[in-house]
Chain A
Amino acid sequence: MAKIEEKQSKQKIEITDGVLIPARDDSSIFSAWRISFYGAIAALVVLPFLSPEPYSHVLKFIIGFDENWRFDIGNSGLVKTFEVTVLSIFFALFIGLLVGLGRISRISFINRLCTVYVEVIRGIPLLVQLFYIYYALAKFVKIMDISAAVIAMAICYGAYIGEIFRAGIQSIPKGQMEAALALGMSRSQAIYRIILPQTIKVVLPPIGNEFIALLKDSSLVSILAVSDLLRRGREYASTSFYYFETYTMVAIIYLILTLFFSRLVAIMEERMKINANQS
């Protein structure tokens, strides 16, 4: 009896601010995903076809095609958005791993430091952090737009990913560490050889979610003079005055990207489930 009650009181509603992950066995979300994804692709194709002015021009401008549909990487908002996202997630993973290890460290100074970092970062809106880091850094060094953006995003997401690593490490059964120690391994050998390799599998799906969240949040860097998708859209709108049409296209592109990656994360999760069930 007591056990059941305890379980119930611990039940949590699991709703994150991320996108819904469309798993195949969750038919309502999966069909909603299909409607949104193929709907968005249809809109992306049909709108420029029906009225090239302005939709086709907007599309060319933000994705980075010139008049003759030649791709110009320097002017591509899409490429810039990916650049910021991929670089940020890379450094965020690095910071996150260190913070996750720090959060389980037995050295109380390191433990405290990492916990404070996580608390502080998670308590400040990302947009405020972006401004803060950009202008704080600008006081000391003259850094390029994109580095400031990447540093700020990585510092922020490092805190969230650190919590994912911590939870992942703590989800490995205690017996694994004990068996390793009983065999004479040191704690760091046990973490490196036994715990972390098993953690990777557990943290991959939530890190996929963070990647999607970061992709969306990367639109915030458009305020830092980074010519990402949103900023290219703003540039186009402010000269052509096609505000509504421009932001329609920008929204559709973001939607397609996030839906595409959320399905990718779902496929990854399904693969892992299959692997786990094969035992």
Chain B
Amino acid sequence: MPIRVKVINVSKNFGNVVALRNVSLEVRKGDVFFIIGSSGSGKSTLLRCINRLENVTSGEIWVEDDLVTGPKANIRKIREETGMVFQSFNLFPHLTVLDNITLAPRIVKKVDKYEAEDVARSLLKRVGLLDKERAYSEQLSGGQQQRVAIARALAMNPKVMLFDEPTSALDPEMTKEVLDVMRDLADEGMTMIVVSHEMGFAKAAATKVVYMDNAEIIEMGTPEQIFDNPQKERTQRFLKNVLKS
């Protein structure tokens, strides 16, 4: 499978804080790439460097043929190719569900209004919220908001989806509805990078798992390798703690 995202020797410092240290990885088309690790280990920073919400301190990131980290990078194109889903949903509260989804295609890609709305409705159908197109985010549950946020990101027709702890603000029931949507996406062949501690989901859907600690990648492998037979002591300790809780 062709490579979709390539991270080469990336480091990122915030002043004195090292958030990423020499991180390298490859994500192939159709991968569901899981990143796990304790709080502050640099998982969000890594995702945010991939769509350039943060600038790397050194190293290179490629999304297909586009160099994300170069000074001449076409940031707008990179962000079109990478959809992002946040822990706190970040729906636009002053817009309806439909407008949340159609705004970016219309003003960034100059898609015609009716065409954008057709696409939005088919996406809403996919996430099971076709009846909510006129609702505002404050009228939706957390799980519904997150599913709209996923539809909104998909409306730009991205090549990679970045998920930053998409379910950690949700209770178990709502978590399931969001994971179901993500599962469908994975089955359809969407390339995804997912920061999450939903181990059950990771075991079922992930093609690769990376364990990060203290700004570095400690261990990388298939879900079986990482979850059932971790090699590094730090990975073992982390998994024990996560499974306990």
Contacts and interface: CB of A to CB of B under 8 A. Distances in A.
Given A178-B53, A193-B107, A183 B90 contact: no
A182 B107 contact: no
A175, A178, A184, A279: residue with the most chain B Cβ atoms closer than 10 Å? A184
A179 B107 contact: no
29 contacts: A173-B88, A173-B90, A176-B92, A178-B86, A179-B84, A179-B86, A179-B90, A179-B91, A179-B149, A180-B92, A181-B53, A182-B53, A182-B79, A182-B83, A183-B79, A183-B104, A183-B152, A183-B153, A184-B76, A184-B108, A184-B109, A185-B108, A186-B76, A189-B107, A198-B92, A198-B93, A198-B94, A279-B138, A279-B139
A52 interface: no
B103 A193 contact: yes
A39 interface: no
Interface in B87-103: 88, 90-94, 103
Interface of B: 51, 53, 76, 79-80, 82-84, 86, 88, 90-94, 103-104, 107-109, 138-139, 149, 152-153, 156
A194 interface: yes
Interface of A: 173, 175-176, 178-186, 189, 193-194, 197-198, 278-279
Nearest to A174: B90
A179 B76 contact: no
Contacts of B153: 182-183
Specify the main secondary structure of chain A where it touches its partner: helix
A140 B94 CA distance: 47
A179, A182, A194: residue with the most chain B Cβ atoms closer than 10 Å? A182
A278 B104 CA distance: 28
A181 B93 contact: no
Contacts, number: 57
Contacts of B90: 173, 175-176, 178-179
Given A178-B53, A179-B86, A279-B138, A184 B104 contact: yes
Given A175-B86, A179-B90, A179-B149, 7 more contacts: A178-B53, A184-B80, A184-B108, A184-B156, A185-B104, A189-B107, A279-B139
Contacts of A176: 90, 92
A183 B156 contact: yes
A162 to B, nearest CB: 22
Contacts of B82: 182
B94 A183 contact: no
Nearest to B108: A184
A175 B88 contact: yes
A203 B93 CA distance: 16
A183 B108 contact: yes
A65 to B, nearest CB: 46
Nearest to B51: A182
Contacts of B86: 175, 178-179
A189 B84 CA distance: 18
Contacts of A194: 92
Nearest to A278: B138
5 residue pairs, one from A and one from B, having the closest CB atoms: A279-B138, A179-B90, A183-B104, A175-B90, A182-B84
B27 to A, nearest CB: 18
Contacts of B139: 279
Contact of A197 (B94, B108, B156): B94
A180 B94 CA distance: 13
A43 to B, nearest CB: 45
A197 B88 CA distance: 20
Contacts of B93: 198
A78 to B, nearest CB: 38
Nearest to B48: A178
